[in-house]
A and B are shown apart, each in its own frame.
Chain A
Amino acid sequence: MIPGIGNLTQDTLWCFSQVKGTIDIGVTEADIISTVEFNHTGELLATGDKGGRVVIFQREQESKNQLHRRGEYNVYSTFQSHEPEFDYLKSLEIEEKINKIRWLPQQNAAYFLLSTNDKTVKLWKVSERDKRPEGYNLKDEDGRLRDPATITTLRVPVLRPMDLMVEATPRRVFANAHTYHINSISVNSDYETYMSADDLRINLWNFEITNQSFNIVDIKPANMEELTEVITAAEFHPLHCNTFVYSSSKGTIRLCDMRASALCDRHTKFFEEPEDPSNRSFFSEIISSISDVKFSHSGRYIMTRDYLTVKVWDLNMENRPIETYQVHDYLRSKLCSLYENDCIFDKFECVWNGSDSVIMTGSYNNFFRMFDRNTKRDVTLEASRENSKPRAILKPRKVCVGGKRRKDEISVDSLDFSKKILHTAWHPSENIIAVAATNNLYIFQDKVN
């Protein structure tokens, strides 16, 4: 596999780097990781979990002493982003689970990110404090006010170093704009606006304004009984601030231009692949439902993930994708069982590498897959504690479909469907990936020679 940057033609070897999280067999539901995202430089890696917490890891500076070790990610900040809420009108709980985290580009010393649960988006500021002022005149070191009558001299407060403290403060709360569950947020390339999408509507926000948002897409039918399609994901174009896409549960993608009208119910482009009649079954629609849509870094392509495949579409061609990759086609004959245990509704995400040459997505049994778009080669790797020795090279895994099972292969019936890799992230410029396996976060890097 061709590495992200570079001209080597040999396959990339992926090595274990780190794993975060406990090894306990009984997993606390709150610790299950629900989103993973690198920031724009790759210096920071954020995770959100079902308990509403955000943990940010920071890459340490590469030291000259350890030439063979790339910078490791260590905990930088942990904070509670969302709390569970109760909607009294509907007698329903609002989960605190963090559905998505998106970073803003860095504009000053502080870091900003958006985090969202089902109903509320929050803008968090993460900043460092390593100095504090000492020597105030009107208050003493404990903060108690001094009696002005006792002050006989004046001094200038000085900044003294202190232990590094990383603070996270909520700067904006964008609430009460979504009737349905938010599935996506996306920061616009103008860095002034962002969108939030729920099952039926997409809203446009200005970062500075929390009590108003513009509704730009609304697919709610007048009569809810006629509802047959929902929005599953949405994203802004990385370069054109007027363009965004959203995907649906019927396997379609719509590209919209906000210059065309205020309410973008009429799409500019409509991407749909004609159905293959030979593969038709009662589950056809369910497996065509798109669980994730991502623009390439170049903005020329979009990638979509449905239950069994990943597809790459050229923005200039609407009638079919230009590339289709089978993630785990051996599940096609198991769809009924997967429908019964609800696995067929699992929403897998997909990611591009920095140069848009390799795409990655997760599967079951803690397997994840990478597809090289140039060489057309693919690999299946596993995130497991067994492969957790430092710099251990990950061995490609193979699923045996039928007939004779070879020694290292695993048969389809032995796959563990409770171990699913739904969330992964790829460093923006290097071959470093973060893979969320239930409550553990694995970090893998390519082999450094």
Chain B
Amino acid sequence: MFARGIKRKCFDGEEDIEGTLAGFKSVPSYNLQRQSLLDMSLVKLQLCHMLVEPNLCRSVLIANTVRQIQEEMTQDGTWQVINAQNTGQASLDRLVSSDILCRSTKEQGEGKLVPSYSSFSKDFEDIQSQDIISDLSTVASVQAPRNPQSNVWEMENPQENRGNFQKSLDQIFETLENKNPNSVEDLFSDVDNSYYDLDTVLTGMMSNTKMGHCDVLESFSSQTTTNSNSNCKSDINELDHIVEILVES
């Protein structure tokens, strides 16, 4: 479980910072901390997909927190609308190590952390929107809970020196690109692929319990048409498998 003693201090004095802010929030670290909280929350929402149905209460509370941050950022004007096409790679920047929380603003290259959450924000407003799926498939596939999970949590490990932000980013790219298609398929062959799309994940945790067998088939079919990576084939096979089971029963 968790080591004794929680050393993190940053953001924990948040109430003080909030009190001194007026209007635009001139203290840069507040934005940084808020951004980090947003990142952390989104990671939590995605990682909550495991074999057992995720805790709905926890998911709802995290989602409410994300909404709250998003609203505040919208009011501040820090929520920039960026072309969704460009966020494929850049969105990975947003998987900021939670170490950022404790980093001083001097160490940060401010330019790297320009918020570009338009694609994520659209999710919350229009989760069923199909055109988001392909944009996010690159991001979402990183969140596959099996193997890359260790990478994500490694990022948040305070023991290692994460001063080099680029290094952690490289690790993610490595995971994605160095895996040949076959091994990825094997890795995920027995896991439900529909959970790897961000919006399905977000919808899924809210509404997977309402899916009748028709909805399950629908979500699988939407997977096969929009999923651009090599898991397409396994999706179709799984779809056939599901249909077989349903028809036989």
Contacts and interface: CB of A to CB of B under 8 A. Distances in A.
Interface string B51-65: 111011110110111
A225 B61 contact: no
Given A92-B51, A224-B206, A229-B60, A336 B14 contact: yes
Nearest to B124: A225
A181 interface: yes
A232 B57 contact: yes
B56 A199 contact: yes
A181 B68 CA distance: 26
Contact of B52 (A92, A224, A230, A335): A92
Contact of B8 (A93, A181, A340): A340
Interface in B1-24: 1-2, 4-8, 10-15, 18
Interface in B43-80: 44, 51-53, 55-58, 60-61, 63-65, 68-69
Contact of A199 (B37, B57, B64): B57
Interface in A410-448: 413-418
A430 to B, nearest CB: 34
A89 interface: yes
Contacts of A91: 192
Contacts of B2: 341, 343, 417-418
A414 B61 contact: no
Contacts of A338: 6
A413 B6 contact: yes
A334 interface: yes
Contacts of B112: none
B71 to A, nearest CB: 11
20 contacts: A90-B53, A95-B52, A179-B209, A181-B53, A224-B207, A225-B206, A225-B207, A227-B60, A278-B15, A280-B15, A281-B14, A282-B34, A285-B64, A336-B8, A336-B11, A337-B12, A338-B6, A341-B2, A345-B57, A413-B7
Interface of A: 88-95, 118, 179-181, 199-200, 224-225, 227-230, 232, 249, 278-283, 285-286, 289, 333-343, 345, 413-418
Interface of B: 1-2, 4-8, 10-15, 18, 34, 37, 40, 44, 51-53, 55-58, 60-61, 63-65, 68-69, 98, 101, 127, 156, 192, 203, 206-211, 213, 216, 245
Given A224-B206, A336-B10, A340-B156, 15 more contacts: A90-B209, A92-B51, A179-B209, A181-B53, A199-B56, A200-B56, A225-B206, A229-B60, A279-B15, A281-B14, A286-B65, A334-B12, A336-B12, A341-B2, A345-B57
